[in-house]
Chains A and B, each alone.
Chain A
Amino acid sequence: MLFTIRSLSYTYGQSPVLEEVSLDLQAGTFYGVLGPNGSGKTTFLDLLSGHKQPSTGNIRFRDRDLQEFSKRELAREIALVPQDYALSFPFRVEEIVLMGRYPHLPRFAAPSRPDLDLVAQALEQTGTAALRNRYITDLSGGEKQRVIFARALAQQTPVLLLDEATSNLDVKHGLQLLQLARRRNREDGSTILAVFHDVNQAACFCDVLLFFKQGRLVHCGPTAHVLTAQTLQSVFEVQARVFFEPELRARQVVFKPPETPELEASPEPDNDESLYTLEKAQAP
């Protein structure tokens, strides 16, 4: 088991942010994390990446307590694409992406040829190669986000955490980056844990969905099982219709805006085609 999480809680000051989360995360699975604002999704990622320490409960990573790992060991295992990033200083794009190699390099070592190749490859894959000599501070929000994504790719970790990594991006670039993450997942067996706001993107890419609400893990399971109108109603408190989209081979959702006529009741979609995900991912 990659992560074994037991009665994980995190309290900030007096207020609980995460409460009693227990869960197993398997290697090689694409996980989607969904939930309303302030439901503890980002904190969950911060606890997994070791940035925050649990108030109670524990996380075991590769059968060792997460806190036993040094920061550098963890940075060679887990990469994070944050949603808010401070970029006050004019580093060049290439320098930023090269920082992804730092956890693999001794303190005063210059990057080797393979390091530079990985950087070039990451720039290429994210479509930012043309920006390599530009200052990060001069880029648009979407360009910055792709550069940060390139850094996480260059970090070459078996686990990739995406914290709303595509929320600043247009549809094309957003899908492109998620496709890159999926390719890592399918070809290298990387584990992806991505926080989404867009339920349909999550449904399209994720094997397993985790739903958080008010700091608790309320639903969790293969996308084809948990992504239902009832789940969405209970988590987001909105009415939705869930249907199977054959071309995507995935479930998709339409939401009903408040104060509009009731959605036509539709039967829950058949799982026959989307069941393929079940082979990869099993609910813990």
Chain B
Amino acid sequence: MPSHQSRPARTFLLLAVLGAALPSAIVVASGMGYVSIPLWTVIKVIAAGISGQESALEKFQELYLTVVFDVRLPRILTAAAVGSGLALSGVVFQGLLLNPLADPYTLGVSAGAAFGASLALLLNVTLFGQYTVAVFAFAGASLTLAAVIFLSSSAGGVSSNNLILSGVIVTAILSAGISFFKYLAQERVSVIVFWLLGSFASSTWTDAGLTWLLTAAGFAVFLYFGRDLNLLCLGGRTASSLGVDPFKVRLILLLTGSCLAAACVSVSGIIGFVGLLVPHMMRSITGPDHYRLLPASLLVGGILLLGADTVTRSLLPAEVPIGVLTALIGGPFFCVIFRKRQMAL
């Protein structure tokens, strides 16, 4: 059967190319910015920084070391991790909710995070130092998720329609709350608005490390349940007849996906369209099989968001908030895909 030989081969090739593209993009992006560094020098600087042999660098290159390691790499790595995390949880949400138009924010995770963050910014809480806003955002997202799951669960378990509806309702309520906070904040409203628009400008090594750790953990969980996820795409009843406990597996995946999305939102603000678009694009190349779709989305999500952040950081005359940029590029692009699909039917 040729299809059984060619498909893994093609997927392997795709993953190999993407797997090489992500590190390359990280290196290239490290050289771009206000201080432009030639590619070869960047490679030397990164090699020196990682190996600790900083003495091998020439005097003027030590400045580059600071620029690359203290300023650029934390931001670049955080952007890539958030892109990957959002794309992964988008894949899982679309599969679980049986809806190719679902995204990590469908269940109100973004509204919850925004509510938590706005509250912290409004009241000027500094309980957890510089991580206060992130902690509040994460708590807001988690509580929202709990509320949505509670609202949508019935005698027969959680159904995808109920989940989507509950997500919409809770999001609407929280949005009203956020508007009220903005109103209360008066002249300090800009702090809230900027946070909501999303930015990697203040990302630290801790942010980068945490988001990569969570993205990797989420990826491991999703891959472990990859086959179950394939079956859940055919509906709970079918999955159940093929050996999956739909209630248990759905809950585990919903929680993992939402935690991942919440973590991404809390370090970066609300960045739309990555979680919707990337799984969509990748599914048309790899097919819906999650063993292929998950790694491809992880890599492409990372590359895309890192690319978008580099564009706004170094190419545009003024820094456009990353959430605005992804929506401005992603929105029309999504319209094109969507329209193409409608015409193909």
Contacts and interface: CB of A to CB of B under 8 A. Distances in A.
Q: How many of chain B's residues touch chain A, expressed as a range? A: 20 to 34
Interface of B: 1, 3-4, 95, 98-100, 154-156, 224, 227, 230-231, 233-238, 240-245, 283, 287-289
Best-buried of B3, B156, B224, B240 by chain A (most CB within 10 Å): B240
A198 interface: no
Contact of B95 (A82, A89, A90, A95): A89
A78 B289 contact: no
A261 interface: no
Nearest to A104: B243
Contacts of A76: 243
Task: List 8 A-B pairs, minimum CB-CB distance, nearest first.
Answer: A75-B243, A80-B241, A86-B235, A89-B288, A72-B243, A103-B243, A51-B240, A89-B233
Contact of A85 (B4, B238, B245): B238
Given A94-B3, A99-B231, A89 B283 contact: yes
A80 B243 contact: no
Contacts of B244: 71
Contact of A88 (B98, B154, B242): B98
Interface of A: 12-13, 46, 49-52, 71-72, 74-76, 78-80, 82, 84-92, 94-96, 99-100, 102-103, 107, 116, 132-133, 155, 161
A99 B242 contact: yes
Given A85-B234, A88-B233, A94-B3, A79 B243 contact: no
A149 to B, nearest CB: 13
Contacts of A95: 287, 289
A82 B237 contact: yes
Given A85-B234, A88-B100, A89-B233, A51 B241 contact: yes
B227 to A, nearest CB: 6
A91 B155 CA distance: 31
Contact of B242 (A75, A90, A161): A75
B241 A87 contact: no
A13 B155 contact: yes
Nearest to B223: A108
Contacts of B241: 49, 51, 75, 78-80, 82, 161
A112 B282 CA distance: 28
Given A85-B235, A107-B227, A116-B1, 19 more contacts: A49-B240, A51-B237, A71-B240, A72-B243, A76-B243, A78-B241, A82-B237, A82-B238, A85-B234, A86-B233, A88-B100, A89-B95, A89-B100, A90-B287, A91-B287, A91-B288, A91-B289, A94-B3, A155-B242
Contacts of A13: 154-155
A116 B4 CA distance: 10
A212 B245 CA distance: 28
Contacts of A78: 241
